Amino acid sequence: VRHLLGIKNLTENDIHTILDTASQFKDVINRPIKKVPSLRDITIANVFFENSTRTRLSFELAEKRLSADVVNFSASGSSVKKGETLLDTVNNILAMKVDMIVMRHSSPGAPHYLSGKIPANVVNAGDGTHEHPTQALLDAFSMREKLGDLAGKKIAIIGDILHSRVALSNIFCLQKLGAEVMVCGPTTLIPKYLPEIGVRVSHQVKEALEWCDVANVLRIQLERQQIKYFPSLREYSLYFGITKAMLDNLNREIVLMHPGPINRGVELSSDAADSSHSIILNQVENGVAVRMAVLYLLAQQ
Ligand code: CP
C-alpha cells in the first residue's frame, strides 16, 4: 500500500500493525531523546487547503521525530489564490524533490484523485465530509490504551454525523476491530444508510450514554451545512449537549472523547470536557505516535 487514503480499504490486520507500531513510537517519544533516524533521507510536504491545528502540527512533529525534512504549505497565502490548480500546485512542490504528500482538502476524494496522478505517497489528513483516517486510528489507539481489546466494546459517536469525516472513518475502523457502534444526533444530522452497514442509531443522548463504554463527541460542522442552523446551536445544546453531571449520574466508568476543536457550551460543557472522564488531550498526544507509525510504514513500501 503506497497511500493512506481512508480506513475503508484497510484490513483488521493493517489497523493492528499501525496501532502496534504506534505503541513502539509512543515509547520512543517519551524518552529524553525523542528522535529516531528512520526517515532521514525523506522529504514530506504538509499541504493544507483547509484550516487545522491538531492534524497539521501533529504530522509536522511526527515527521520531525522521524528525522524527515518538512515543508508546510497552506492554500491561504499561496498561488492557489491566483488560480493555480491542485495538481499544478502539488507537481510544483514535487519538483523540489519531495517524497510524500500529507494533504487536507475540502473536496471529498481529492487525495484519491491526486494519488492516481503523482509518483509520491499520499496521506489523507481529512477530505471534506469523507474520511479522516489518522484521526480514526488515533481514536482507536486511545480507546485501546484505555480499555484493551476493542472487540465487543460499545462506542457511541454523538453529534453531527452527516457532515463528519471523523464519524465515517471511526465507524469503518471500529467495526473492523469488532466494536459495536451507535451514532446519536438529530434526525437531520444522521445519514439514512447507516443501519444498513450495521450501525445502531439513537436520537436520545441519554440512551446513547447509558449504552456505551465510550462517547466520542463531535462538533456541529456549520461550515459544511447546506441548511444553516437546523437545529440551531441553542437547540442542539439543549437536547444533545453533554454535561459532567450526565456522565457522573451513570455511576460507572465512561470514557469521553472529542477529536477537537471543541465548541464549549454546545456539544460539551466545560466541566465535562475537563472532567476525569475525558481523554481528549491523550488523543492529541497519541496523534503524534500514530502519525509516526503511518509515515514510517508507508516509507517502507
Ligand atoms: N481533529 C482535527 O482534525 O483537528 P484539526 O482540524 O485542528 O486538525
Is pLDDT above 70 for 37?
Answer: yes
**Any known ligand binding at 132?**
yes
Mean pLDDT of 9-34: 97
- At residue 207, the pLDDT reads 98
- At residue 226, the pLDDT reads 66
- What is residue 164's DSSP assignment? -
- Does ligand 1 have an atom closer than 6 angstroms to the CB of 186? no
* CB-CB neighbours of 99 under 10 Å: 18
Mean pLDDT of 138-165: 97
Residue from 104, 42, 99, 113 nearest 73 by CA: 104
Mean pLDDT of 152-156: 98
Alpha-carbon span 276 to 278, nearest angstrom: 5
Is pLDDT above 90 for 229?
Answer: no
Please state, rounded to an integer, the average pLDDT across all residues of the chain.
96
Edge-to-edge strand order for the sheet containing 69-74?
Answer: 69-74, 43-48, 100-105, 121-127
Helical spans, DSSP H, in the chain: 12-29, 54-65, 86-94, 110-115, 133-147, 165-176, 205-211, 233-240, 244-248, 270-273, 280-299
**Any known ligand binding at 89?**
no
Distant-in-sequence, close-in-space partners of 271: CB < 8 Å, separation ≥ 6: 243, 244
Q: Which CATH code for domain 12-131+284-299?
A: 3.40.50.1370
Is pLDDT above 90 for 228?
Answer: no
How does strand 154-158 pair with strand 180-184?
parallel
Distant-in-sequence, close-in-space partners of 231: CB < 8 Å, separation ≥ 6: 186, 188, 239
Residue from 296, 244, 264 nearest 59 by CA: 296
**Residue 232 pLDDT grade (very low, low, confident, very high; cuts 50, 70, 90):** confident
- What is residue 4's DSSP assignment? B
pLDDT digits (tens, 9 = 90+) for 178-225: 999 999 999 999 999 999 999 999 999 999 999 999 999 999 887 777
Is pLDDT above 80 for 227?
Answer: no
Alpha-carbon span 282 to 242, nearest angstrom: 20
pLDDT digits (tens, 9 = 90+) for 56-73: 999 999 999 999 999 999
Q: Which is the closest atom of ligand 1 to the Cα of 55?
A: 8
All cell numbers assigned to 165: 469525516
| 54 against 227, higher pLDDT | 54
Alpha-carbon span 301 to 299, nearest angstrom: 6
All cell numbers assigned to 79: 498561488
Residue from 119, 79, 127 nearest 103 by CA: 127
**Any known ligand binding at 219?**
yes
- Does ligand 1 have an atom closer than 6 angstroms to the CB of 164? no
Peptide bond into 37 cis (omega under 30): no
Q: Which is the closest atom of ligand 1 to the Cα of 104?
A: 8
- Does ligand 1 have an atom closer than 6 angstroms to the CB of 259? yes
Mean pLDDT of 264-274: 97
Q: What class, spelled out in words, does domain 133-279 have in CATH?
A: alpha beta
- The verdict on ipTM greater than 0.85 is yes
Distinct helix (H) and strand (E) counts, the chain: 11, 9
Q: Whose CA is nearest to atom 6 of ligand 1?
A: 52
Domain limits, the chain: 12-131+284-299, 133-279
Distance from residue 114's CA to the centre of ligand 1 (Å): 21
Alpha-carbon span 208 to 282, nearest angstrom: 23
Distance from residue 94's CA to the centre of ligand 1 (Å): 25
